[in-house]
Amino acid sequence: MAETFDLILRGGQVFTPGGLVETDVGVRDGRIVRIDKLAPEQAGEVFDATGLTVLPGVIDTQVHFREPGNEHKEDLATGSAAAVAGGVTAVFEMPNTSPSTTTAAAMEDKLKRAKGRMLCDHAFFIGAADNAAELPELERMPGCCGVKIFMGSSTGSLLVEDDGALARILAAGRRRVAIHAEDEPRLKERKAIAEKSGDVADHPNWRDVESALKATQRIVALARTANRPIHVLHITTAEEMAFLAGVKDVATVEATPQHLTMAAPDCYTRMGTLAQMNPPIREARHRAALWNAVREGVVDVLGSDHAPHTREEKEKAYPGSPSGMPGVETMLPLMLSHAAAGRLSLARVVDLLCSGPQRIYNIRGKGRIALGYDADFTVVDLKARRTLTHAMMHSKVGWTPFDGMDIQGWPMATIIRGGFAMRDGELASTPQGAPVRFWDT
């Protein structure tokens, strides 16, 4: 009797662990069970991928979906809609909500809120605060992707700024800890720069290179003492990348598409406070250093740092305007467009958005197209051209910092455990997102 499948992806270029191969992929019970030429009559459903490229499901390991507490900006449903529209199959959501995700009850509440509402798979960070004693248990909860530390003040109330508290947190538990590294004492000292000028172009002068580098050096030293792996988020400076290249035994590194795409002062001149985020968009020499770190392998993963605020909030006078911008829907198209322009290879895009997250966070069954893995696929048209606009965005805030930008490379289908979350721009009507599984929970 011939083998049968729930779904066959047929005729595409498939990005396997061995590279791009023209082959078919057979899916059964949400898993990849065959990678070979297959007959269409063997499947309940056939997706014709002719002319398309089938990538492993993209994983965005840094999003802020604002629920609970700020659902007027975003919620788990709308954030996940933006994710799958952009080809993202799984997201890791940050703990700086209201209330903060710092307890077992708060983690369970987020998982309950996500069930039946999120279109993509998901996991949630536990926030580090005055809960060091509980972190070893909290970080092992199902649906938890790890611990997050905010060393510098940003959106929300989570902040751990002194070395003693940081050391206690790093000593409590064993999973990799994600770090927002800005030096809070220096930020406090320099805030007068922003308050005096009232000009958003001074955002990178207030939150300067030294504030970023000093915090990154501090947390690496503390992590080494604690023998604890860390993941330093949204690195923005040439100086940090040079330092982090020498400490890969303890620290993995994230960059964002925003910092790889925009540069100061142009972004502030064009967009004003829409370009404001923490850490800031900096001048072109830093962007060039980030690209060099991507090419040299210092950067392990890209995250969107999707952090939406309403247009009304963003239009407040600086520095009263909030930092953050939406990005989960545009991350993959931006990076495909950078690849089309020759700035990085498609293989490197896959490494940064699919297999890199799997390695860093020890994810089960995702990040590659291989037998036995979840049937998560991001199907793209590498030749498709689009112009990004505010109107096409699915985020609740309805804007993008890349409005008007021409793109080459576009997600045509987002498939999660064998089910279509997005197909030809149409989103699934029934959310099927489930908690991501990890080897150490």
CATH number at residue 31: 2.30.40.10
Q: What is the average pLDDT across 176-194? A: 96
Number of domains in the chain: 2
Q: What is the average pLDDT across 172-177? A: 96
Residue 336 domain flag: yes
State residue 156's pLDDT score: 55
Helix axes 76-85, 104-114, angle to 10 degrees: 60
Q: How far apart are CA 272 and CA 369, in angstroms?
A: 41
The single residue of 60, 75, 202, 305 carrying the catalytic annotation is 305
Q: Residue 134 has which token pair?
A: 């509980």
Residue 69 domain flag: yes
Q: How far apart are CA 216 and CA 226, in angstroms?
A: 15
Q: Is the pLDDT of residue 173 over 80?
A: yes
Q: What is the average pLDDT across 394-423? A: 98
**Strand arrangement of the beta sheet that strand 301-302 belongs to:** 58-63, 88-93, 121-127, 144-150, 177-180, 230-232, 251-255, 301-302
Q: Are residues 340 and 375 in the same domain?
A: no
- Using a pLDDT cut of 70, give the percent of the chain over it: 99
Residue 257 domain flag: yes
Q: Are residues 41 and 77 in the same domain?
A: no
State residue 159's pLDDT score: 85
Q: What is the average pLDDT across 212-230? A: 98
Q: Are residues 167 and 32 in the same domain?
A: no
State residue 158's pLDDT score: 81
Q: What is the average pLDDT across 387-414? A: 98
Q: What is the average pLDDT across 236-264? A: 98
Higher pLDDT, 290 or 41: 290
Q: Are residues 111 and 45 in the same domain?
A: no
In this structure, of 93-107, 150-164, 175-189, 347-361, the range with the lowest mean pLDDT score is 150-164
Q: Is the pLDDT of residue 268 over 80?
A: yes
Domain stop point among 326, 361, 396? 361
Residue 439 domain flag: no
Residue 393 domain flag: no
- Using a pLDDT cut of 90, give the percent of the chain over it: 96
**Could you read off the pLDDT of 41-62 as tens digits, one per residue?**
889 999 999 999 999 999 999 9
Residue 438 domain flag: no
Residue 302 domain flag: yes
State residue 161's pLDDT score: 84
Closest CA to 160 of 195, 111, 126, 205: 126
Grouping H, G, I as helix, E, B as strand and the rest as coil, residue 315 is: coil
Q: Are residues 243 and 261 in the same domain?
A: yes
Q: Are residues 36 and 113 in the same domain?
A: no
Longest CA–CA span in the chain (Å) reads 77
Q: What is the average pLDDT across 157-172? A: 90
Domain of residue 217, CATH code:
3.20.20.140
Q: What is the average pLDDT across 84-93? A: 98
Pairing of strands 301-302, 251-255: parallel
Q: Are residues 43 and 158 in the same domain?
A: no
Structural domain of 46: 5-54+370-385+405-427
State residue 350's pLDDT score: 98
Q: Are residues 223 and 336 in the same domain?
A: yes
Average pLDDT of the chain, as a whole number:
97
Q: Are residues 30 and 82 in the same domain?
A: no
Q: Are residues 317 and 419 in the same domain?
A: no
Q: Are residues 411 and 276 in the same domain?
A: no
CA dihedral 384, 387, 392, 398 (to 10 degrees): 140
Q: Is the pLDDT of residue 148 over 70?
A: yes
Q: What is the average pLDDT across 207-233? A: 98
Instruction: Give the pLDDT band of residue 155 (cuts 50, 70, 90).
Output: low
- Asked about 305 being catalytic, the answer comes back as yes
Q: Are residues 357 and 375 in the same domain?
A: no
